Chains A and B, each alone.
Chain A
Amino acid sequence: MDMIGRFFSALFGSVINMAADPASLAKMLVMWVIGGVLIYLAIKKDMEPALLLPMGVGAILVNLPMSGALDQLVGNQVQRGALSVLFDAGIENELFPLLLFIGIGAMIDFGPLLCNPKLLLFGAAAQFGIFLTILLAASIGHFFPGTFSITDAASAGMIGAADGPTAIFVSGYYDTKYMGAIMVAAYSYMALVPIIQPPCIRLVTTRKERLIRMPYAKDKVSRRVRILFPIIVTVIAGIVSPQSVTLVGFLMFGNLIRECGVLDSLSQTAQGALANLITILLGITVAVRMHADEFLSIHTLLIMLLGLFAFVFDTIGGVLFAKFLNLFIKNKVNPMIGACGISAFPMSCRVVHKMGLAEDNQNYLLMHAAGVNVGGQVASVIAGGLVISFVDQIIGKV
């Protein structure tokens, strides 16, 4: 009899334990469904599959009863789980997003931006949504104590960076319990840029403004400028926000590998193998923060709404800034390009280019939009650094 008991206990012990706690069982089942939805969106809808698929698998993995993927207390001893180890090694110390930034830096061609550096201003303006969302989240935290602290608000606002690694970096830096929700929101909305941005752009522009043509005179950018750009940005951003210099530094290091012209093989490795490897690990490791107890709460829904708010106001901020500039400049800019400052490279510039062509089939905005888009990438990283600097000052971390 003992043997049969041990047999069933070994095979179904975890299920029997779960069945004794129906509430946990229900939560676990909901997380499986959420994991399944993420996998479905990745495969069927092609929504950021590189991240949403590993996150979906991870969500299921960490929500199995007594999952060995996470640390478990067995007797008096903690048995380390592989995902917990990866989380400590790569996300808690912000290593994975930083390594991914080397790959992203190596992928980006700053040429269109360097032809017209003023486009960086649009990138700056389109970070408005980040800061407005921080204010909104902090207000929620103020009126509903126990929801968001200022560090949670800062992490939630970074969804508006439309740049996964920056959002992970800031969330990891503040070790917010909402990291799972922030990641799901950030990558879902990035994939939904073609749906979110066009109505926002139309809302704040007239047809006449959308028809503004922008001729593109391709200036050749010297190799010296291409090489000095990443170094200068790193130095300036490092002086302003030393706590987060690695964020900009690793992005620009990747770009320097690309532009120096003597490290082609390293550049290819960074763009391909390194970026892919880190993406796999990042997606599945973030799922550590998708355990049912943490993830299934009203806060997750709030984070999703805050993320949408951030994307909408990033877009509106960039467009309104372009309209504001048009009041003072002779050669008017098409305000739609302001929306590309949201980062989300290269999705956002494609969206604006298509919108331009839909209004006037001879209006090619792609290169201007691409310039603003890569400017937005730099701006979002710098915004992440500035948020950390200011919030650290407030909470007395420095």
Chain B
Amino acid sequence: MIIQALEVMLFGMLGIFIVMGVIIGVISLLGKLGKPSKEREEPPED
């Protein structure tokens, strides 16, 4: 049972970081897509 619990612990921690990493990636991407780009904000140079 200890080995089983170790398995749950190792895979659980690994799994939670992977899931969080994926969520962070997707949210960051959405955040970037949602913001106007700097080039568009600045007036064009002559």
Contacts and interface: CB of A to CB of B under 8 A. Distances in A.
A304 B20 CA distance: 29
Contacts of A389: 15
Contact of B20 (A123, A225, A228): A123
A6 interface: no
B7 to A, nearest CB: 7
Contact of B17 (A124, A221, A225, A387): A124
A118 interface: yes
A237 interface: yes
Contacts, number: 110
A379 B5 contact: no
Nearest to A148: B1
Nearest to A383: B16
A135 interface: yes
What are the nearest 6 A-B pairs in CB distance? A138-B5, A131-B9, A222-B34, A117-B27, A124-B20, A135-B5
B16 A139 contact: no
Interface string A196-237: 000000000000000000000000011011001100110011
Contacts of B24: 117-118, 120-121
Contacts of B27: 114, 117, 225, 229, 232
A221 B33 CA distance: 12
A278 interface: no
B1 A117 contact: no
A128 B2 CA distance: 17
Given A117-B31, A127-B13, A142-B1, A232 B6 contact: no
Contacts of B1: 138-139, 141-142, 149-150, 153
Given A222-B31, A236-B26, 6 more contacts: A117-B31, A120-B24, A237-B19, A240-B19, A379-B20, A390-B15
A386 interface: yes
Interface in A274-323: none
Contacts of A30: none
Contacts of A222: 31, 34-35
A222 B34 CA distance: 7
Contact of B5 (A123, A150, A236, A375): A150
Interface in B3-39: 4-9, 11-13, 15-24, 26-28, 30-31, 34-35
Interface of A: 114, 117-118, 120-121, 123-124, 127-128, 130-132, 134-135, 137-139, 141-142, 149-150, 153-154, 221-222, 224-225, 228-229, 232-233, 236-237, 240, 375, 378-379, 382-383, 386-387, 389-391, 394
Which has the most chain A C-beta neighbours within 10 Å: B4, B9, B18, B20? B20
7 contacts: A117-B28, A124-B16, A135-B6, A137-B5, A139-B2, A236-B26, A391-B8
A137 B5 CA distance: 9
Interface residues of B, number: 28
Nearest to A235: B26
Nearest to B26: A232
Contacts of A114: 27, 31
A135 B33 CA distance: 42
A150 B4 contact: yes
Contact of B12 (A221, A236, A237, A383): A383
B8 A390 contact: yes
Nearest to B31: A225
From A134, A135, A139, A150, residue with most partner B Cβ within 10 Å: A135
Contacts of A224: 30, 34
B3 to A, nearest CB: 9
Nearest to B18: A240
B2 A135 contact: yes
Of A120, A142, A150, most B-chain CB atoms within 10 Å: A120
A132 B11 CA distance: 12
B8 A127 contact: no
Contacts of B34: 222, 224-225
